């Protein structure tokens, strides 16, 4: 179960940007030949596909409403990537460890994906693109830093990812409550009549 903290961190990061996680882990394997990172992630064809898909996400993630469409498509991709990376991180361990890593990676990726998708819907309520661009760049920097840190310090990175996930879920819950309250108020307003009675 030594790989579990790295599976958790990678799972959280995969829910935000799965292609960047594959790139960071693959480049780390190529450059450092790390035992913790599966060699398959460092293969040139894997890096090329992940790089191409990351470039597409890099652009799509910064355009209001396109980013939410991209998130809908990614609802299956990000948790699956988190689960696959978790299983790969288990290596040749027994099937129970692989199953636990897959469940942790996929489950964490699903939760962080829901936080990202929900926060982007909230951000899209503002018509200007600056907030989207800022949120996207911040997400990429955090994913890059967290995964890179997790390779050297998996337990500390897992703790950070846990805090980020908990804070994100609380903020998403509070935002959903505010939105629901706003809808209720809007529905209770009397409808204005147009035209005066003679």
| Residue found under tokens 């995964």 | 147
Buried b / exposed e along 6-21 (16+ C-beta atoms within 10 A): bbbbbbbbbbbbbbbb
pLDDT digits (tens, 9 = 90+) for 18-72: 999 999 999 998 888 777 788 899 899 999 999 999 999 999 988 888 888 899 9
CA angle 79, 85, 86 (to 5 degrees): 90
pLDDT digits (tens, 9 = 90+) for 66-112: 888 899 999 999 999 999 999 998 876 678 888 898 999 999 999 99
Secondary element (H or E) of residue 127:
none
pLDDT digits (tens, 9 = 90+) for 117-164: 888 888 877 767 788 889 899 999 999 999 999 999 999 999 999 999
Mean pLDDT for 165-188 is 82
Three-class secondary structure of residue 112 per DSSP: helix
* Greater pLDDT, 190 or 145: 145
Burial (CB count within 10 angstroms: exposed 0-12, middle 13-18, buried 19+), residue 91:
middle
Secondary element (H or E) of residue 107:
helix 95-123
Global confidence as pTM? 0.84
């Amino acid at each position: 179960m030594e790989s579990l903290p790295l599976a958790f961190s990678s799972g959280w990061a995969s829910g935000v940007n799965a292609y960047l996680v594959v790139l960071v882990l693959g480049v780390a394997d190529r450059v450092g030949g790390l035992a913790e990172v599966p060699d398959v992630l460092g293969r040139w064809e894997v890096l090329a596909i992940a790089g191409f898909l990351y470039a597409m996400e890099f652009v799509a993630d910064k355009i209001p409403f396109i980013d939410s469409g991209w998130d809908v498509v990614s609802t299956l991709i990000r948790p699956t990537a988190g689960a696959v990376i978790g299983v790969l991180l288990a290596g040749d361990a027994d099937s129970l460890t692989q199953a636990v890593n897959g469940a942790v990676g996929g489950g964490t990726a699903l939760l962080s994906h829901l936080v990202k998708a929900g926060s982007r819907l909230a951000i899209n309520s503002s018509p200007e693109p600056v907030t989207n661009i800022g949120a996207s760049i911040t997400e990429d920097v955090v994913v890059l830093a967290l995964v890179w840190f997790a390779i050297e310090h998996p337990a500390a990175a897992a703790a950070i990812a846990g805090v980020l996930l908990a804070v994100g879920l609380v903020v998403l819950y509070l935002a959903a409550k505010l939105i629901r309250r706003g809808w209720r108020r809007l529905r209770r307003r009397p409808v204005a009549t147009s035209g005066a009675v003679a």
